[in-house]
Amino acid sequence: MIDLNFNFKSALISFLFNIVLFILKIIASIITKSTALFVEALRSFGDILNSGLAHIGNSIALGKDEYYTFSRRMYLYVFGFALSIIALGSIVTIGFIEGLQSFLNPKPIENIPIGVMLISIAIVFDFTSAILAFRDVRIYLDEVGYTNPLFRAVFIENIYDIVGEGIALMTLFLSRWSNTIDGISSMVLSSMLAIYMIKLAKENIDVLVHRAAPPEIIARIVKIALSNPAIRDVNTIKTLMIEPQRYIIFMEVEIDPNLSLAEMEQVLIDVKNDVKRFIREAEYLVIEPRRPDSSPKTYKELLKRLQNK
């Protein structure tokens, strides 16, 4: 198990920062009476839930191995799916309703300089958090060879936040000329959160239903296996998603019958190593060997079906 203790920092810092930002934005929305800032506060509350979940997931992913590897992780993805649908869905709905009411019944924004100051502070916090998350993404990629989805999620969340805060800042400036801009910005911010909610829900549901790997990845696995001279054919291949962009692969291959048991085991080890070296998404690989039969080459039909998907 790779020890990357520094990687706990970005998820934890993002969680703590989001608590501070939620308080800042609530204060800003009360002082300015801006609906856009209220929606931003709602978004920060959603970020608290997301970053808290990311920190828990990070602790599980980089912690001690379990005997039953997928037990706690599945609970995490179930909770993540429920969070994206129920909690974030409620926030999006409230944001749209508040934005529509503000657009239909516009009111002047008050204490604009204070609002600008508080949102500017929020941007600094999120920019710092984004830098830390990006650093952890790069370090993890260099150490392990693939991107950790949790750190990437924290980074994307912070980019969303910076864009949202930029829109809120523009709203404060533009509200001097039009009060309706507050309602329009609120609905735009709610739309951004809706997009993020759909993305988060899709990632979690893909894991929960054990979605198969993309056809191009499956085809590459078949070709890598066949590149070993001892592999005569690939009869079946099945893939299941166990984490975002991480798969378990079950494959039945026909192997040279003239090999000894030790040689056969070495061939299977070589195939597994080759697949994992070239397919970073391959987390686990189970290969079932069998003797060649007289049927046509099955792998040709497999590749043909994959090309048609």
213-263 pLDDT, tens digit each: 888 888 899 999 989 998 888 888 888 877 767 788 999 999 988 888 888
Return the minimum-mean-pLDDT range out of 74-78, 101-105, 263-267: 74-78
Contact between 55 and 63 (Cβ < 8 Å): no
pLDDT given at position 5: 45
Span 177-210, pLDDT tens digits: 888 888 898 888 888 878 877 776 666 665 555 6
| pLDDT at position 64 over 80 | no
pLDDT given at position 56: 66
Mean pLDDT of 18-23: 91
pLDDT given at position 119: 92
Mean of all residue pLDDT scores within the chain? 79
pLDDT given at position 25: 92
Where in the chain are the domains?
A: 5-208, 215-307
Q: Does the domain made of 215-307 have the CATH classification 3.30.70.1350? A: yes
Return the minimum-mean-pLDDT range out of 62-66, 161-165, 196-200: 62-66
pLDDT given at position 108: 86
| pLDDT at position 72 over 70 | no
Q: How much of the chain exceeds pLDDT 70, in percent?
A: 77
Biggest CA-to-CA distance, the chain: 84
Return the minimum-mean-pLDDT range out of 42-51, 57-66, 89-98, 111-120: 57-66
| pLDDT at position 301 over 60 | yes
Q: How much of the chain exceeds pLDDT 90, in percent?
A: 16
Task: Decide which of 41 and 6 is more confident.
Answer: 41
Mean pLDDT of 2-14: 61
| pLDDT at position 140 over 90 | no
| pLDDT at position 150 over 80 | no
